[in-house]
Structure 1
Amino acid sequence: MSAPLRILLVDDQPLLLQGFAMILSVEDDLEVVGQVPDGARAVAAVAELRPDVVLMDVQMPVLDGIEATRRIIAVHPEVRVVILTTFDRDDYLFDALEAGASGFLLKNADPDDLVDAVRAVAHGHALLAPEVTRRVISRMTSSEAGPPEPGDRGGAEGHATPLPHLTGREREILVLVAQGLSNAEIAAQAFVTEATVKTHVSNVLAKLGVRDRVQAVIAAYDAGLVTPGV
């Protein structure tokens, strides 16, 4: 049996810390190794405790969760950070992703969703709903909009630059990932096994040099393989 996933909780509200700890600690494969009230202590705790996953609040004293995430990922890129917030705001979402977070979860999520989130990010999956992925791509499009230049990246109206280092099947899988399909849904649509899908997704992430599925979709947008509204 593999060792439990090590989790660090970061929130300035003691009741929430205790609640999250109670939810997670009853799972045999999860272990809460620390609880801290601000981002500065989170950075220090990661160095000391080496958790697999950090559940990180956004608005905290001393150091906010976004900056704490940025500092943690810069030194410990193997650590997965899930941003927890009561606010479904785009600026938090994009700032968190740019800082290196692997997921974004609202604090009013069901307890089962919290447990599933920890397991998902620990195994390399990004924790974002399909509509959130599309918001990320749409945000990139609007922020980079301007007169087209020769050789400019692909997009809704530009010339799509292929990803020659991906096979045809891998490109197909990447497009389906961008549509927000799960591995099981991709397997059904591509007429392959779920294990085969997992292999293709892993190969895509490795070839693109990215951490998770969301970053893979962004890389695909950069190359013009997918566009907003996929």
Structure 2
Amino acid sequence: MSAPSRVLIVDDDPMAASGVAAILGTSKELTVVGIRNSATTLGDAIQALRPDIVLCDVRMPEVDGVEAATRHARQPDAPRFLMMTAFDEEGRVLDAINAGAVGFLLKHDDPRWILDAVLAIKNGGSAYSPRAAAQLTEWIQNSRSSAAQRAAIEKMKLLTDRERQFAIALVTDGASDADLAARFFVAETTVKSALGAIRTKWGVRSRTEIAVIVAQSGLA
């Protein structure tokens, strides 16, 4: 059995951070190596604690989660950043994704979903909760420019019918690979292969980036 993934929690709300730590502590696949209530010294914490995953609040004083991801998510051997948000500043979440974050959660998501999301990140995937995905989709569709929509539609045209079905399901339901496999009566390896093909065709790295493009297209 592989060693547990090391998780660093960054949130200026000590109670919220402790609650998330308790949820993650129920899994033998994860170990919380630290909690920080500020991102101002996050670089030092990453060097000292060597986390595999940083679970980071979006809204914090001084250095917020977006700036933290911008500074650290694309560094060599960087931990993977999973953002938490109350989703009152949706555009900041998009900024974090562009900075290299691989997923986002709503703070009031079901605790089981928070745990599943971190485990998905541990296993090399991306994660965003269904409620967060729905809100993000609505925000993108309400604010998209015609140029961005046209570009997204052209990208959708590059996909096969099955790839398009999978991509849309990511946005509408926040479905996992296993969910997609069960829904479309295919093997989970088929889903992984299709999502890999989408990432290659679109030049993106994560499920979250796929979801953003689908939402921009307005085809979900």
TM range (shorter): 0.7 to 0.9
Q: Deviations over 1:137-168 (max 9, x none)?
A: 415xx44236x9xxx6364xxx77742xx666
- Report the CA distance between 1:11 and its aligned residue: 1.6
Inter-partner Cα distance in structure 1 for 2:156 and 2:14: 50
Which structure features the higher share of helix residues?
2
Q: Does 1:199 align with 2:193?
A: yes
- Report the CA distance between 1:4 and its aligned residue: 0.5
Aligned to 2:89: 89
Query: Partner amino acid for 2:181?
Result: A
3-state DSSP of counterpart to 1:40: coil
- Report the CA distance between 1:114 and its aligned residue: 2.0
- Report the CA distance between 1:95 and its aligned residue: 2.9
3-state DSSP of counterpart to 1:210: coil
Aligned to 1:127: 128
Query: Partner amino acid for 1:95?
Result: D
3-state DSSP of counterpart to 2:134: helix
Q: Which runs of 5+ in 2 are unaligned?
A: none
Inter-partner Cα distance in structure 2 for 1:144 and 1:45: 39
Q: Which runs of 5+ in 1 are unaligned?
A: none
How many correspondences in the alignment? 215
- Report the CA distance between 1:175 and its aligned residue: 4.3
- Report the CA distance between 1:187 and its aligned residue: 2.6
Inter-partner Cα distance in structure 2 for 1:62 and 1:88: 18
User: CA 1:160 to 1:38, structure 2 compared with 1: closer, same or farther past 3 Å?
Assistant: closer
Aligned to 2:13: 13
Aligned to 1:144: 145
Q: Does 1:216 align with 2:206?
A: no
Residues 165-204 of structure 1: pairs in structure 2 closer than 5 A: 169-180=162-173, 181-204=175-198
Aligned to 1:228: 218
Instruction: Answer with 1 or 2: which has the greater Rg.
Output: 1
Inter-partner Cα distance in structure 1 for 2:59 and 2:13: 11
Q: Tell me if the contact between 2:166 and 2:180 (Cα under 8 Å) persists in the aligned partners.
A: yes
Inter-partner Cα distance in structure 1 for 2:168 and 2:108: 31
Q: Tell me if the contact between 1:120 and 1:127 (Cα under 8 Å) persists in the aligned partners.
A: no
User: CA 1:176 to 1:108, structure 2 compared with 1: closer, same or farther past 3 Å?
Assistant: closer
Aligned to 2:28: 28
Inter-partner Cα distance in structure 1 for 2:188 and 2:136: 22
Query: Partner amino acid for 1:186?
Result: L
Q: Tell me if the contact between 2:66 and 2:93 (Cα under 8 Å) persists in the aligned partners.
A: no
Inter-partner Cα distance in structure 1 for 2:17 and 2:172: 34
Residues 103-114 of structure 1: pairs in structure 2 closer than 5 A: 103-114=103-114
TM-score by structure 1 length? 0.75
TM-score by structure 2 length? 0.78
User: CA 1:106 to 1:185, structure 2 compared with 1: closer, same or farther past 3 Å?
Assistant: closer
- Report the CA distance between 1:87 and its aligned residue: 4.5
Inter-partner Cα distance in structure 1 for 2:200 and 2:219: 25
- Report the CA distance between 1:192 and its aligned residue: 1.7
3-state DSSP of counterpart to 2:151: coil
Q: Tell me if the contact between 1:128 and 1:214 (Cα under 8 Å) persists in the aligned partners.
A: no
